[in-house]
Amino acid sequence: MSDPTQSPIFVQRLVEAKILKHVYETLIESHGEEVAKKTIADSVRHASIAQAKEMSEGVETSMTSFIELMEMWTRGGALETTVLDANEEEFNFDVTRCRYSEMYKEMGLGDIGHLLSCQRDGTFCEGYDSRIKMTRSQTIMQGAPTCTFRFKLAE
C-alpha cells in the first residue's frame, strides 16, 4: 500500500468528496436525508480511525509525533493556523482559514462538510493514540470565524 503521508490530505479529501457526493445524493433518494447523513458520518468516522491506525504503525506515538503530522493537513495552504501551544502535553491552535470548508461549499456539500472533515479531527486521535483528547468549541465549517483545536495528552 502507498504511504499515506506522501499525498496532501487536501487532495485526498477532494477525491473522497467527489465520490461521497454521489453516494450521499443516492442515499437521500433511496433512504432519506437522515439515513444519508448518518451513513456518511459513520463511514467517515471508521475511515478516519483506520487511517490514524495506519499512520501510527511503527511509530512511538506521543504528542510530539502527533504535532509532526500537522504538516500533512496544512500542506499547500490548506489551513492557515495560529499555534497557541505545542509541547509534549498539549497542542492548541486556531484555524483562521480553512480551504477544506471552502472546497466543500463550492462542491455543494457545505451542509455535510462537518461530516466529511471536521468530525475526523477527534476520531483521528482514537486511532492514532487514544491518550490524545481533542476539544473544539467552534468551526469555520459551521459558521464561526475560526476553528478552535485543543489537544491534550491524558495520563
pLDDT by residue (tens digit) across 79-102? 999 999 999 999 999 999 999 999
The closest of 29, 152, 6 to 91, measured between CA atoms, is 152
Q: Among residues of the chain, what percentage have pLDDT more than 70?
A: 95
Q: Report in angstroms the alpha-carbon separations of 20 from 39, 40, 86, 109, 119.
A: 11, 8, 34, 10, 15
Distance CA 141, CA 150 (A): 17
Confidence of residue 7 (pLDDT cuts 50, 70, 90): low
Domains of the chain and CATH, by start: 4-153 (3.30.1380)
The pTM of this model reads: 0.89
Distance CA 146, CA 138 (A): 7
